[in-house]
A and B are shown apart, each in its own frame.
Chain A
């Protein structure tokens, strides 16, 4: 069954008359022109540009992957030399992990969460803008490096001693390390944004046990970011200092330890997989509910499963280090912990299957991507169970099995749900439907492409082909499987091209989606598409888990928020009872200035430690400008409630 756009006459009607909308529009709109673009503090404007930026990096990393696959398509290929090849796979991995996967899921959250929980903006609008600019500067830095032949070449996990000053002279590793710092700052502020917004700005009635599963997923991911990201930021700073001012953190000759890096890095990077994966689960839950025409089965079990996955993921990092000298008890513990994560993951898969089973499923494109996700993630998960066993891991570590496994997990577990989400929420963001037939074509190209690309890589790993080699001889017998993998990569590229064509066609057409083309469950479908700058003229009141399916009468709402300044409603943390009003800042340039100051600090800091003093001072002045009191607006009448 294909999706039918809802006719235009069923666009939202509410009691707010036109003048209310006009007044709110005047107060909440971005300023016009370029100045408006760089001063915006609107969550949708910033999240959308962040999503587009992330997909641009995805495309760049895709081109790198294509070059890698062309190089490996036949034995003794001389298209790309070893040095360029090292830069390509390092920048490919670093881009996908740090500039695409985490930013894109956080940006989707920053776009949708305020709409789903019934508020007008994220909790800290300026911090949100600052996070985007910081991310952008970090990403551009990495690509300036690559295009000037200074791209990192030590692999995306940057192990010393290879990444240390002795074996990687020059500035390549430093660019990588500072790119990490930029993106971690951005990820941490986005996480704080999401948590504060969800805890304090939910619509009245949306108590914690009624929060949509998508929003739960984003909150859980955010807490993981807060704990995990500082570890890699600290580690990358230590690496940069080893290289810049001769600290000895990772230098064994002076008592430092290369394995210290691996512990700090993987304590971040294993949870990182789940930081990417859990938001995808949230997207899957939204899609499954809407297209099965019923709420997801086992709400409490779903939430608790995501929480347990989050906790367990911090106890698994050592399974990336089975090839290092570890105590045997440690190996057994981490093998068991790795296997244990299959339990909460299994609970979720069964809950979705139960939902689809008991519902009236419609296999639209978003739903196809969900089914594809379940299939691919199962293969990814099974290949993961294999390398969770120490003896198998010792055989397969540093072979092509690993890239095969991680791509099944990340493409299946994250990219497929994300693309499902693109098809599902595209009408909300743009007011236009994507073509179902092109969508299904994309799906099949990508689904077949993933298997044709990455299954041969699992086999190549078992056959003993090491990862990260720029070529191989014909007598290894690896040629056919590599060629197959490269053909698969071409299918993947084609699938993405079809998606781009689909999006371009939709954008060139007239808006046809209406407010709620799918009959959605959550509040974002209660507003027009695209949503106005203030999201809701009146904040809705929620009576059940399925905010829009609970009853069929008029939607109850809150009035009384001011229309002459940016005001949001705050509610209590557990029960979401109306508690306070909160004034939000107007558009401002200060977040961009602060990000530039941080940018100067970190980029100059690649070359000279004095940058941290000078840049710290610049950042201080930018932050003072940010926080300095503005002239009060006329008619400011504050109602102050002091603690009892």
Chain B
């Protein structure tokens, strides 16, 4: 008890104590990159939440699978593989210009950032258009049966991420092209690419689930 007693708080009211500045922050950077920024942590937060969303859809897919003897169910055609696979390849390729504009933005190289960002926008728009076609490649309407519903859910859930990311990159490219972007925007450009890596990576297990699993099992 005495030991504990010794660390009882000194209750001198803190508010009555004066402040003494001992560190000058004025020369700290006002623009930094990567995990030094709050934006990076915010992006990670959204990634966690979106991973959980996709996980819920994929879990639903395998849960519903237990209710059927055949997969896809009888009289339901298999999904096409051609368009989804091209779409996957294009999506993976979009990582290259994203990486390059992220690196350029870290150098504050406006011209290179702009160039690679527009290339990224074109590739991502192609991926978005292909994803739109994928709904047709599923070969079944969303309301046909539970298999159709869960497959549509996974493709649609990821489609919203792809569309949002593409539009964000497009808006950033427009801002850069107008010459409006102050230096503090450049870390945001790098985060945009960082998000794209996640978005592409997250699609791979979804692609395997929706398109390959029905062919395998």
A359 interfacial contact with B, CB 8 Å: yes
B63 interfacial contact with A, CB 8 Å: yes
CA distance A573 to B35 in the complex (A): 9
**Are B14 and A582 in contact (CB-based, < 8 A)?**
no
B213 interfacial contact with A, CB 8 Å: no
Instruction: List chain B residues, Cβ under 8 A from A628.
Output: 175, 180
Instruction: List chain B residues, Cβ under 8 A from A166.
Output: none
A506 interfacial contact with B, CB 8 Å: no
What residues make up the interface of B, taking CB atoms closer than 8 Å to A?
1, 4-5, 7-38, 41-42, 45-46, 48-50, 52-53, 55-57, 59-60, 63-64, 67-68, 73, 106-108, 142-150, 152-153, 157, 167, 171, 175, 180-185
Chain A stretch 3-18: residues in CB contact (< 8 A) with chain B: 6, 10-16
Given known contacts A15-B21, A196-B38, A639-B30, is B57 in contact with A227 (CB within 8 Å)?
A: no
Instruction: List chain A residues, Cβ under 8 A from B153.
Output: 234, 238, 247, 249
Given known contacts A15-B20, A196-B45, A628-B175, is B53 in contact with A233 (CB within 8 Å)?
A: yes
A204 interfacial contact with B, CB 8 Å: yes
Instruction: List chain A residues, Cβ under 8 A from B33.
Output: 641-643
A322 interfacial contact with B, CB 8 Å: no
**Are A238 and B60 in contact (CB-based, < 8 A)?**
yes
Given known contacts A234-B57, A260-B60, is B146 in contact with A249 (CB within 8 Å)?
A: yes
**Are A578 and B25 in contact (CB-based, < 8 A)?**
yes
Tell me which of B7, B15, B35, B152 contacts A295 (CB under 8 A). B7
Q: Nearest CB to that of A195 among chain B residues? A: B45
Tell me which of A248, A267, A295, A581 contacts B146 (CB under 8 A). A248
Given known contacts A11-B15, A13-B18, A552-B10, is B182 in contact with A201 (CB within 8 Å)?
A: no
Instruction: List chain A residues, Cβ under 8 A from B60.
Output: 234, 238, 249, 260, 264
Number of interface residues of A (CB under 8 A): 110
Instruction: List chain B residues, Cβ under 8 A from A358.
Output: 1, 4-5
Instruction: List chain A residues, Cβ under 8 A from B152.
Output: 247
A636 interfacial contact with B, CB 8 Å: yes
Of the stretches A60-68, A87-95, A406-414, A557-565, the one at the interface is A557-565
Instruction: List chain A residues, Cβ under 8 A from B17.
Output: 526, 552-555
Tell me which of B20, B50, B64 contacts A230 (CB under 8 A). B50
Given known contacts A247-B142, A294-B8, A580-B36, is B171 in contact with A624 (CB within 8 Å)?
A: yes
CA distance A251 to B149 in the complex (A): 11
Least CB distance from B34 to A in Å reads 6
A325 interfacial contact with B, CB 8 Å: no
A515 interfacial contact with B, CB 8 Å: yes
**Are A582 and B56 in contact (CB-based, < 8 A)?**
no
Instruction: List chain B residues, Cβ under 8 A from A246.
Output: 143
Least CB distance from B74 to A in Å reads 11
Instruction: List chain A residues, Cβ under 8 A from B8.
Output: 293-294, 359-360
Tell me which of B23, B46, B49, B67 contacts A229 (CB under 8 A). B49
**Are B184 and A638 in contact (CB-based, < 8 A)?**
yes
Instruction: List chain A residues, Cβ under 8 A from B49.
Output: 188, 191-192, 226-227, 229-230
**Are B73 and A558 in contact (CB-based, < 8 A)?**
no
Contact with B along A120-144 (1 / 0, CB 8 A): 0001100100000000000000000
Q: Nearest CB to that of A16 among chain B residues? A: B19
A255 interfacial contact with B, CB 8 Å: yes
Give me 5 A-to-B residue pairs in the complex whose CB atoms sit less than 8 angstroms apart, sorted by A's number.
A226-B48, A245-B142, A267-B56, A556-B23, A642-B107
A546 interfacial contact with B, CB 8 Å: yes
Instruction: List chain B residues, Cβ under 8 A from A569.
Output: 25, 28
Instruction: List chain A residues, Cβ under 8 A from B64.
Output: 249, 255-257, 260
Instruction: List chain B residues, Cβ under 8 A from A272.
Output: none
**Are B5 and A248 in contact (CB-based, < 8 A)?**
no
Least CB distance from B116 to A in Å reads 17
Instruction: List chain A residues, Cβ under 8 A from B57.
Output: 234
Listed residue (A200, A255, A541) with the most chain B CB atoms within 10 angstroms of its CB? A255
Q: Which 3 pairs, one residue from A and one from B, show the smallest C-beta to C-beta distance? A: A515-B15, A560-B26, A192-B45
**Are A643 and B108 in contact (CB-based, < 8 A)?**
no
Given known contacts A123-B38, A227-B48, A249-B146, is B28 in contact with A639 (CB within 8 Å)?
A: yes
Instruction: List chain A residues, Cβ under 8 A from B22.
Output: 541, 556-558
Q: Nearest CB to that of B18 among chain A residues? A: A554
Q: Nearest CB to that of B186 among chain A residues? A: A640
**Are A570 and B27 in contact (CB-based, < 8 A)?**
no
